[in-house]
Amino acid sequence: VLVCVCVRVLSVGSDLDAEASKLLRSEYFKNLKTRQVLRMLRKLKEGMEGGDKEEKNLNTVSESELRKAKEAMNVDFVKNKVGSDHPDFEYDKQVDFGPAEDDNDWDDDHDPNMEDDFDDDDPF
């Protein structure tokens, strides 16, 4: 019953905060927390869009959706952050990712015949 109610009120362009407020006033959702309803609506909306969070175009979402996406990215960032007090912290860590798998000729505009203004011995 809950999913049916949600699907009827939800569309790809829906503002999830507004929809959650409406649903929380209904008999079916009155005992749920706002974050639970928002999480459920987000999952339903992602399913309607046919993708997950990584595929969402943040240029086209509402301000509240953009804020939520940024908050989610920040949670992941903080969770994965290795600060200077962390035992795995390594100063100036450099990682070799190997050759590129995709064509990235957008940055291959360097002409070897053109002399650049940089001195290889000068670190600045």
Look-up of token digits 């209904």 = 26
Structure tokens, 11: 């569309």
DSSP 105: G
CB-based contact 23:9 (threshold 8 Å): yes
Q: Which pLDDT score is estimated for 99?
A: 80
Type of residue found at 43: K
Instruction: Kindly report the pTM of this predicted structure.
Output: 0.37
Is the CB of residue 5 less than 8 Å from the CB of residue 23? Answer: yes
Neighbour count for residue 107 (Cβ, 10 Å): 6
* pLDDT the model gives residue 93: 82
| pLDDT one-digit tens code per residue, 39-82 | 888 888 777 766 554 567 888 888 988 898 888 888 888 888 88
- Kindly report, residue by residue over 1-39, the tens digit of the pLDDT: 455 555 666 777 778 888 888 888 888 888 888 888 888
- The pLDDT score that the predictor gives to residue 75 is 86
Q: Kindly indicate the confidence band of residue 121, based on its pLDDT and cuts at 50, 70 and 90.
A: low
User: Taking residues 94-114, what's their average pLDDT?
Assistant: 69
